[in-house]
Structure formats: C-alpha cells, structure tokens
Amino acid sequence: MEAVEKSGQTAGPAAVPVDVAAAGACGAGADAATANVCGAAASTCAGAAAAADACPDAVAAPCEATAAGRAALDLIEQRSSTRQFARNTPVTDEQRAAVLHAASRAPSAGAMMMYSIIDIQAQETLDRLAVLCDNQPFIATAPWALIFVVDYAKWIDLFEHVGCFDPAFVQETGRAPRRTPGLGELGIALQDTVIAAQSAVIAAEAVGLGSCYIGDIVENAEEVAQLLDLPPYTLPLSMLVLGVPAKARPATLHPVENLVMPERYRRADAATLDRQVAEMDAMFRPHARTAGERVCDIYARKHTSPFMAEMGRSMSCWLKNWTGEAPLQG
C-alpha cells in the first residue's frame, strides 16, 4: 500500500514555545514551500509600511495579524507529502522540539491529552516499520518517525494511582470501579490524536521538514504491538515520517466537488457524481484516460485490496485491545 496521503519514548515536547526562525524556517534547511511562505509574510507587511507611517497604531496590529494569517494559509496551501528525504541531512534538535511542542499545543478534550507520541529514531526500528507498514521501503529512509497512539492506558493508570478504584473512594462517590475505556472514550481520543498529528505536520513544514502520513501503522496488529510494547487500552492511529525533503514538492491537487454540504448531509445525485468523476479524472491525467478510470483505480487498488483486508482484520484486534477484551500484549 502507499501512504494514506495520495492526490509518526521521547523526553517530551518543549515546555515553552519554540522560536520557529531558530528552528529553521526561512533558514538554510528550509524548502521552497517554506521560503514562499516567508516571502508572502514579508511582502504582506511591506505593503502596509507606507500606511503605517501615517497611522502606525491603526495599521500595526492588522499588519501583524494579516502576515501571520497569510503565512499560515500559504503553508497549508503549499504542503504536500514527502517520500524522498535528503541524505546526510539530520533533523536538528530545534526542529524536533518545535514539532513536538506544536503537537502538545493541539486542542484536546478537557486537556486530557488522550494520546501518546512514540519518537522513533533508531534505524532498526524504522527498518522494521517499513516492512510491517505494507512493505514501503521509503519509510526506512526517513531520519525520524512519530507514531501517534490513541492512549487511555495512562488514564487507567492515573485513576488507579490516585485511588479511584479504592473501596473508600467507591463508597464516598457511589461510583463503581470502571477499569476499562469504551467506544465513547475512543471517539474523543481519536479526535485528540489526529489533531495532534496534524499540528505536528504543519509545524514540520514551518521549520523546513517534510512529512508523510503512514496509515498502515494499524496493520499487522500483533507484531506492531510487540515492536512498540503497546499495552491494553491503546491503538496506534497514525505514523508520520519526517525529514528534510530531497527536492521541492509541488502541491498536490485535492478534489473539492461534493465536499462541503450546507446544513445537512446530502447524497449526491447523478449530475453531482458525474462532476466528481470528471474532476478526479482531470486531476489524475495522463493516468486517467477514460471517464471513471480514477474511481475504478481506487476500487481495485484500495477498496478491494489485500492490504485493506489486513487493515480491517487488524483494526478488529486493536478495538479489542482498546476495550481490554483481548489484549495484544500482557
């Protein structure tokens, strides 16, 4: 399988906000997309300089906000997946700190942080992950990987640590001990985890690093659980591979037809489906030569593929690991 995007035990994130410029944005390690972002930000403020002379108090704040907002939007617009990494170009400590800090700043339900980030730098682990994640050799060429684990084990441990399961606490609160999470916790924790991963992706771009999501981390559940020593009440949701891009990456086009639906969900009618097909075929030419070829490709290469069958099997195992029904590790 290819990575999810077609069109990742650390000492912890930085305790304080990281100076992005010092981490590499607009520096020697920045890629073309990052340089464009910096240029856009600079030109935005430069354009307001004359007005600032006449009324500095009125212009200064809007200029600052506009530049920051424009830079963020340009960063998102230019970002694409990186599968080729510059050789002998390590990820710096400053870049790592910036990415991990950004992940820790992601929105989290009740600030519970229902995820853990496994920091992978050892080559032997990257080599093994390349095999377990549907035999994708480029994974082993990345200098860094982050695995975002949906994690309620830490909360079960905390509940036990402070005495929530003790008879005295049970009698005082009238709440029977509940030692396992359910699907409700899973739904919220999944959101926490994927938001943290995407925050890391955007931060990586800002400091000159490329990244690629690897959804196949959920495959081969038994071996992945053993490799990463994942306990019950956990599930590896996403992996990012990161590093300095070997070359500039053009932004990948994404289909937008039938994406935003006003007020209610809407099943597409025939005319809308035809527009979707035409949009996707146009984006994927010259590979898509006949009408509907892109959709047929997705059906054959993904929807009915062996890797998707394995992903479904492993997800069933992970769900049982999450509830504690059938732990993959002791």
Tell me the average pLDDT across 131-140. 98
> What are 256-287's pLDDT values in tens digits?
999 999 999 999 999 999 999 999 999 887 77
Is 36 part of a structural domain of the chain? Answer: no
Cα–Cα distances in angstroms (integers) from residue 9 to residues 43, 119, 148, 208, 218, in the given order: 41, 5, 11, 23, 19
Is 37 part of a structural domain of the chain? Answer: no
Torsion-angle region of residue 111: left (phi > 0), alpha (psi -120 to 50) or beta? left
Q: Residue 326 — very low, low, confident or very high, per pLDDT cuts 50/70/90?
A: very high
Q: Are 82 and 71 in contact (CB under 8 A)?
A: no
> What are 57-113's pLDDT values in tens digits?
433 444 455 888 899 999 999 999 999 999 999 999 999 999 999 999 999 999 999
Is 77 part of a structural domain of the chain? Answer: no
For residue 153, pLDDT over 90 is answered with: yes
For residue 194, pLDDT over 50 is answered with: yes
Q: Residue 182 — very low, low, confident or very high, per pLDDT cuts 50/70/90?
A: very high
Rg of the Cα atoms in the chain: 23
- In which residue are the tokens 């600032």 written? 52
Query: Coil, strand, or helix at residue 26?
Result: coil
For residue 169, pLDDT over 90 is answered with: yes
**pTM of this structure:** 0.81
φ, ψ of residue 305 in degrees (nearest 5): -85, 160
Residue 177 sits in a domain whose CATH number is: 3.40.109.10
Q: Residue 212 — very low, low, confident or very high, per pLDDT cuts 50/70/90?
A: very high
Residue 92's domain spans which residues? 82-252+303-323
The count of domains in the chain is 1
Q: Copy the structure tokens of residue 35.
A: 């340089």
Is 265 part of a structural domain of the chain? Answer: no
> What are 116-130's pLDDT values in tens digits?
999 999 999 999 999
CA 160 to chain centre: 31
Is 121 part of a structural domain of the chain? Answer: yes
Is 26 part of a structural domain of the chain? Answer: no
Is 290 part of a structural domain of the chain? Answer: no
For residue 146, pLDDT over 50 is answered with: yes
Is 257 part of a structural domain of the chain? Answer: no
